[in-house]
A and B are shown apart, each in its own frame.
Chain A
Amino acid sequence: MVDKEIVSLYLERKEEAITETERKYGAYCRQISRNILTVKEDAEECVNDAYHAAWMHIPPDEPQRLKTYLGKLIRNLAISRYRKNRAAKRYVGVEVLLSELDDCVPDGQSPERAVEAHELTQELSDWLLSLKKEDRILFLRRYWYGFSVKQLAQERGCKPNAAAQRLYVLRCALRDYLTVKGVAL
């Protein structure tokens, strides 16, 4: 079933919408959720929460790309779950991602300006667009989809160390970019 038909099911409030979403994008959602949360049961709950959120938000939302719409829901729900439970539970996936992303935070030594969330997204987008496609995909597969460095190394046909090193260089490049742009986090 194409996305438009699935979205129509949501709009018509037909429960098949969830079944069809699971059929088409279940594996995709589960992959992202597991990458980020790593605790299997919580990852599964996060996927169900995402379906519920989609049911609640379509309408009024009418996503053109259901796949990325769901991916964004999963990422938001996963970080919320981490924030809520971090005192009691270890979500290794997101913890490692956040700790790596710490490298991208400017050190505050240069003049900075406060930016709204959408402005920061725009800065990140501009920086990503300036990268070679290969680097952009690597960065997003790690920090958007949460794939492990080991898997990314396999995909690229290189050693994990080389992939990790490249990611490190990219993180530092992002930090430098945000510093040059005077972005305060």
Chain B
Amino acid sequence: MKSERIYDSLTNLDDAMIREADTAPKRRKRYLPWLGAIAAVLAVAVLAGVLLRPGGFVIEAHALTLPEYPAAAPYPDLMDYIGENGEISDADRETYYEKMNEWYSDDAERQQYRNEYSLQDLSGFLSKTLPQFLGGTDSENRVYSPLNVYMALALLAETADSTGRQQILDLMGVSDMDTLRTRVHAIWNANYCDDGVRKSVLANSLWLNDQVNFRQETLDLLAQNYYASSYAGAMGTKQMDDLLHNWMNEQTDDLLKDQIDALELDDDTVAALVSTVLFTAKWDEEFSESVTTDGVFHAANGDEPCRMMHQESEGNYYWADHFAAVAQNLEGGGSMWFFLPDEGVTPEDLLHDPQLTAFLLTNGNGNGIWENQKYLIIQKQIAKFDVASQIDAKKPLQELGVTDVFDWTKADFSPLTQEAQEYNVYVSDAIHGARVMIDEKGCKGAAYMIILEGAGAAEPPDERVDFILDRPFIFAITGTDGLPLFIGIVNHPNV
């Protein structure tokens, strides 16, 4: 009997998947449709590199190149097709299959891209940039998006030449431009998703001075490999700044509006390269708002009040020489990791801990690489937070060996414009802004939308552990491929 083959093959599924189903799910009320899209985790990052030269004057910007984005069919919700009587009509079933197949097809394509690179390809980049971008914080919050900076550096490498380009490739751990294009294209496609369940939207653009002649072949290449739009207009005008702000705010859902609206393109600007990431996801297991309590966060410079979320769940508890780690899974894939430094160890100390980078690149799995883990009942207490930072990326990049593009005597941007040497084009500024916020579920008053009820035949594990984030800690949001999208230090939860 053919169905016996399915039965047999189900038996050997991965243990984690079987464990996930060994207790009855908590019963939930249906979400109102408008609540479905609201986020529990919102994160955004921006990096802008600004190149300078004496400039001209025109009124408004126009698009030179617009990329074609990959398809992302929406994930159909079965409940939308089932009637009040619990039945589904033949026509609705057919529609559901059609939508499901469209989604499968797009998702299969995304999965193919994930096979084209390994997280280990980014290990050098991550271990070098992590302390540079997050270090020296003292007692401030700091957020860094490795994915965002990687994308922005790829754009910069395409527009630069000579040793400037090579220095960027060295930092990115890439041997040549063909490898860079293939890898970044795969990373972009593997991480770009807006299917109604997951929202991980990457966007790139170039803002060009229309008094300068740019190489169309480079703009086309950037559109094709990096999905970068190119716009030309009059630098130093309010209209151009507004257009830039509108584009960036739209891509980042207004989360960094204060920072973005303060950016100005003066009339010496030749071009601005912009890369953005917007990430939104709901927890797989939401926190109950009704059990969130007032708490105390023991910051480095004194105690401060915070709102503490509570949740008890089964899962893997990881530990290393200087930290413990726990994951909170995200709906549709990916996780948010929380790293609690041991007493007497600061988040800053952990940035230099090779175990942290190793952990980030294996997501605690790595085919048994990470041995110190135990499946336990974990009593989580996590301070709600909303943290943002703006980092001057020039100094960290220079310290990491990317120097020539910042030096007008050495910079070579001839791939971008044939007039590069004439105007001594170089990178004048590089800014990285990022913000991450979490809460119980991301929507006001949604606590009463959920009925939590435990039931099931299986026995829970007989051990439990408390995981209390009430002192400075590190977090990381990883995508479905395990790539760290955002990493940050929370010194003040700010909620």
A interface vs B, CB < 8 Å? Answer: 1-2, 24-25, 27-28, 31, 64-65, 67-68, 71-72, 75-76, 79, 83, 94, 97-102, 104-105, 117-118, 120-121, 124-126, 128-130, 132-137, 140-141, 143-145, 147, 154-159, 161-162, 165-166, 169, 172-173, 176-177, 180, 185
Residues A185 and B19 in contact in the complex (CB < 8 Å), given A124-B13, A143-B7: no
Contacting residues, chain A, for B25 (C-beta < 8 A): 133-134, 137, 155-156
A-B contact pairs, 25 of them (CB 8 A): A1-B462, A24-B462, A27-B459, A65-B375, A67-B22, A75-B11, A79-B7, A101-B6, A102-B3, A117-B5, A120-B9, A125-B17, A130-B107, A133-B25, A140-B17, A144-B18, A145-B21, A156-B25, A156-B27, A157-B451, A161-B87, A162-B82, A165-B87, A176-B97, A177-B104
Q: Would you give the shortest CB distance from B37 to chain A, in whole angstroms?
A: 15
Question: B4 on the interface (CB 8 Å rule)?
Answer: yes
A137 to B28, CA, bound (A): 14
Of B6, B22, B97, B100, the most chain A CB neighbours within 10 A belong to B6
Does A162 contact B86, Cβ atoms closer than 8 Å?
yes
B5 interface neighbour in A157, A158, A180, A185, Cβ under 8 Å: A185
Does A144 contact B459, Cβ atoms closer than 8 Å?
no
Does A67 contact B107, Cβ atoms closer than 8 Å?
no
Contacting residues, chain B, for A25 (C-beta < 8 A): 459
Residues A105 and B78 in contact in the complex (CB < 8 Å), given A65-B375, A79-B8: no
Contacting residues, chain A, for B75 (C-beta < 8 A): 132
Does B97 contact A137, Cβ atoms closer than 8 Å?
no
Contacting residues, chain B, for A134 (C-beta < 8 A): 25
Q: Would you give the shortest CB distance from B360 to chain A, in whole angstroms?
A: 22
Residues A27 and B457 in contact in the complex (CB < 8 Å), given A72-B12, A159-B86: yes
Does B7 contact A98, Cβ atoms closer than 8 Å?
yes
Does A169 contact B104, Cβ atoms closer than 8 Å?
no
B interface vs A, CB < 8 Å? Answer: 1-15, 17-22, 24-25, 27, 75, 77-78, 81-82, 85-88, 93, 96-97, 100-101, 103-104, 107, 111, 197, 284, 331-333, 375, 451, 455-459, 461-463
Q: Would you give the shortest CB distance from B392 to chain A, in whole angstroms?
A: 41
Does B78 contact A166, Cβ atoms closer than 8 Å?
yes
Contacting residues, chain A, for B14 (C-beta < 8 A): 125
The residue of chain A having its C-beta at the shortest distance from the C-beta of B455 within the complex is A155
Contacting residues, chain A, for B78 (C-beta < 8 A): 135, 166, 169
Does A117 contact B9, Cβ atoms closer than 8 Å?
yes
Contacting residues, chain A, for B100 (C-beta < 8 A): 173, 176
Contacting residues, chain A, for B3 (C-beta < 8 A): 98-102, 104-105, 185
List the 3 closest A-B pairs by CB distance, nearest first: A162-B86, A140-B21, A101-B3
Q: Would you give the shortest CB distance from A128 to chain B, in whole angstroms?
A: 6
Residues A143 and B15 in contact in the complex (CB < 8 Å), given A27-B457, A157-B27: no
Does A144 contact B10, Cβ atoms closer than 8 Å?
yes
Does B15 contact A64, Cβ atoms closer than 8 Å?
yes
The majority secondary structure among interface residues of chain A is: helix
A50 to B311, CA, bound (A): 35
Q: A100-B3, A121-B13, A161-B85 are in contact. List 17 more A-B contacts (CB 8 A).
A: A1-B462, A25-B459, A28-B22, A28-B459, A72-B12, A76-B8, A102-B3, A105-B6, A128-B17, A133-B20, A136-B17, A137-B20, A141-B24, A143-B6, A155-B456, A156-B25, A185-B3
Does B13 contact A133, Cβ atoms closer than 8 Å?
no
Residues A120 and B5 in contact in the complex (CB < 8 Å), given A135-B78, A137-B25, A144-B13: yes
Does A79 contact B4, Cβ atoms closer than 8 Å?
yes
Contacting residues, chain A, for B101 (C-beta < 8 A): 176, 180
Contacting residues, chain A, for B107 (C-beta < 8 A): 130
The residue of chain B having its C-beta at the shortest distance from the C-beta of A31 within the complex is B457
Contacting residues, chain B, for A162 (C-beta < 8 A): 82, 86
A83 to B1, CA, bound (A): 10
Residues A28 and B458 in contact in the complex (CB < 8 Å), given A67-B22, A165-B86, A172-B97: yes
Does B86 contact A158, Cβ atoms closer than 8 Å?
yes
Contacting residues, chain B, for A99 (C-beta < 8 A): 3
